[in-house]
Each structure stands twice: as C-alpha cells, then as structure tokens.
Amino acid sequence: MPRRIDVGELQLSMYESLFPSEIAALRDLSERLKGVRVLHINATPYGGGVSELLRSIVPMERALGIDSSWIVISGDERFFNVTKSFHNALQGDTYKLTPTDKETYLAYNKLNADALTEDYDFIFVHDPQPVAIRHMRPSTKARWIWRCHIDTSNPNPQVWQFLLPFIHDYDAVIFTMREFVPEGITGRVDIIPPGIDPLSPKNMELPEDISRHILNWVGAPKDGPIICQVSRFDPWKDPLGVIAAYRLIAKEKPDVRLILIGSMALDDPQGWEIYDKIIKAKNKGNIHIFTNFMGVADIQVNAFQRVADVVIQKSKKEGFGLVVSETLWKGTPIVAGRAGGIPMQLAGGGGFLVDSVEETAKRALEVLDNPGPAAEEGRRGRRYIREHFLIMRLIKDHLNLLLSLA
C-alpha cells in the first residue's frame, strides 16, 4: 500500500524576513488556490533529490493555505529493479525491455492506483516509477502533472515508447530543460528547474566552528585539504572517476583527503553494488566513505559542503544536480561534470565544468592552489543561486502552473 509521508510545519515568517519580495509574490499567487487539494506521488521518502524537494515543497504549500500531501508508492525488489533499469535506460543506457518487466511495472502501478481513493484537485507524479498510475485512474477529476527529474534527452527507444502512452494521459508535463524533452511528447510542456530550500537542515547557515565540530563527531579526518563529493552511489555520478581524479591530485598534494558521501535510497537497489565497488577501489589513500546509514544526514552534509576546500560533482548524466546549488549556496567552489542541468547552475560563476578525469584533477588543483580567487568564485556562485535556484522560485512556477490548469 502507498504510504503517506509526514512532514513538519514550515514557518513562512522565517523566509519572509530573509526573502520578503519572494514570499509576498507567493502569498499573492496562492490566494486563488486556498484550500485546493494537492497530492505529490513519488517512489522513496529519503535518499534522493525528489524526496529532498518534497520535504520543502509540501510544507511550503501548506503554509500558503494549500491542502498539500505526499505519498510514496509501494513495491518489492523486483519492481524497484525494473524501475532502476527504466531510470538508467531513460538516461541513455542500453536495455532490453522484456514482457516480464512490463508485467511487473504495470502490476505495481495498478496496485498503487487502486489504493488511491481520495479526491484531489491536482496530482503531481514524480519520475517514471509511478507514471502509469494516471492511466489506471481514468475517472478522477483531478488535473494530473507528470514531473520528470532526469535527463531524457536520449532515452532508450523501447522504454520510452512503452511509457509514452501513459505520459500522454497527463494534463501537463514538466522537464528541467527544453533539451530533455524527447520526441513524441504532445500537449502542454512546462520547463521548470528545481530549487533548493535555503532554510532546510542541509542549507541553513552553520558557523565554521559548529561545522567542524559536526565533522569531528562523525569521525572525519582533521588535517589537510578536503575534496568532497555528495551524491547517490550511482554510475552516472561517476564516483570511481572521482577516486581516479583524487589519485592524480594526491600526487601533487599528498595530504589531500577525499570524502565520498553517498545517500542510499529505497528505490535504488543498484546503490549497494556501486558502494561495494567504491570500497574495493579506494584501497590505499586518504579516502573516506560516509552514508546516511552511518549517521550522515542533511546537517552533516551541510557541514561537509561548508568545510570542503572544493566539492566535486563528476556527473556523466544529470537531471539537475541539487548538490551543485547546495554547494554554491554555501560559497564553496565546485568542479562539476558538463552534464544535464549542471551548466545552468554555474552560468553565473562558482566553479568549473569538466569532461574528463584529468580535467577534474587539474581544475581541483587550481582551486586548492588559489584559495583567494576560489573564495571569490564561490561568492559569485552564491549570488547566482540566490537569484535563480531557490525553492521560492520553484513554488512560484508550480503555483502559476496550477492556476493556468484551473
């Protein structure tokens, strides 16, 4: 059965004191949506960017007078193995879709659709795992929106053609970038990049002494420069490539430390396979692995991103990459893969885009060797994120979409 996820209350006044014009605009927009029922559906309550977004979106919608809620679909290991394969295939991986895969996918979508008995005015369905639910609920009067968070610019044709008829049932679909919209999409398409919550535990201000105390508490090493990557343990995030880049950097700076922080998600069985490969690959060197199952949660990630001398996000494919905005919001310079939504976040400065292990190492060394210019680059990045990629802009885009559908 689907699970309803509890979220905390959000004090809109805290945001209003820091972002008065943005909150005033949200209050004006939400006046016509007071009391409407909004449901968000996704596949996991923790461990990924979608769950992080919903932790802030749902409480902020409620604070604006919208009756918003969030449920997570149910599924067994077979279902999540299939949907992980779909995820990779939609990002361009080779994959042969079998009748058994289709049967498993549709059976669990039907199970979750049948359990969706309440009435709503608007329903957001996030990513491919639950996309067929709309097709299996034809009698609902709600307006349905499918939100694709991944890079579907070159999807596997078999998987895309299988899912496309279900996507056509939606009243609107949202992609992060125009380049992600594949062939065959008809109807309304909105381009809405995500945004980070500046007051969430992962992004709230932390004094440096508190950040270092937190890192000491989790057992992080104390001496030498810190390079850090925060992401799912996923082949598209290329953690093994980060380790290879670290080894090149360590030849120039033997005291450098690499911190890999991985978030293990309910809907990502592949994560443990990648984790095992990372453990085997780290061998010698000052490499340290942390996960959410080791007590490293949002507040600890916040501290790592603040204390790191440089953050690496060496993605090969990326829908958006919230970690880029999170890092830049803290004024920390970043070296990131030229993939998906990452370049749009670095358009105003804040770091370097790279295309190889060697270039990653070269740019990271530039940051480590030039702390003054690197700090200024980080400040430029923070200003750009402030202007373009905070949660208030995301909520504003959502409200405008709901108003137009209504």
Quote the pLDDT of residue 265: 64
Residue 191: pLDDT over 90: yes
Total residues found in the chain within this entry: 406
Using a 10 angstrom Cβ sphere, with 0-12 exposed, 13-18 middle and 19 or more buried, the burial of residue 178 is exposed
> Which residues contact residue 67 at a Cβ distance below 8 angstroms, ignoring those fewer than 6 apart?
35, 36, 37, 38
Distance from the Cα of residue 260 to its chain's centroid: 17
Q: pLDDT tens for residues 164-189?
A: 999 999 999 999 999 999 999 989 99
CB 231 within 8 A of CB 327: no
pLDDT band at 138 (very low <50, low <70, confident <90, very high): confident
Return the pLDDT at 293.
Answer: 72
- CA 31 to each of CA 26, 34, 309, 403, 404: distance values in angstroms, whole numbers, following the listed order: 9, 6, 44, 10, 14
Statement: residue 268 has pLDDT above 70:
no
Mean pLDDT score, 311-327: 95
Q: How far apart are CA 301 and CA 261, in angstroms?
A: 8
**C-alpha to C-alpha distance for 298 and 265, rounded to whole angstroms:** 14
- Asked if 123 and 145 touch (Cβ cutoff 8 Å), the reply is yes
Phi then psi for 167, rounded to 5 degrees? -65, -35
Q: Is the pLDDT of residue 34 over 80?
A: yes
- Is there a contact between 25 and 60 (Cβ–Cβ < 8 Å)? no
pLDDT in tens, 238-253: 999 999 999 999 999 9
Q: For the chain, state the CA radius of gyration.
A: 21
Which residues, in sequence order, are bridge partners of residue 146?
125, 173
| Alpha-carbon dihedral angle through residues 389, 395, 401, 404, given to the nearest 10 degrees | -130
Tokens of 274: 């990648």
Indicate if the pLDDT at residue 139 is higher than 80: no
Pairing of strands 351-354, 334-337: parallel
Does residue 312 contact residue 367 with C-beta atoms inside 8 Å?
Answer: no
- The identity of residue 158, as a single letter, is Q
Ordered strands of the 172-175 beta sheet? 3-4, 67-72, 37-42, 122-126, 143-147, 172-175, 189-191
Q: Kindly list the structural domains of the chain, giving each domain's residue range(s) and its CATH number in brackets, ordered by start.
A: 3-195+390-405 (3.40.50.2000), 208-388 (3.40.50.2000)
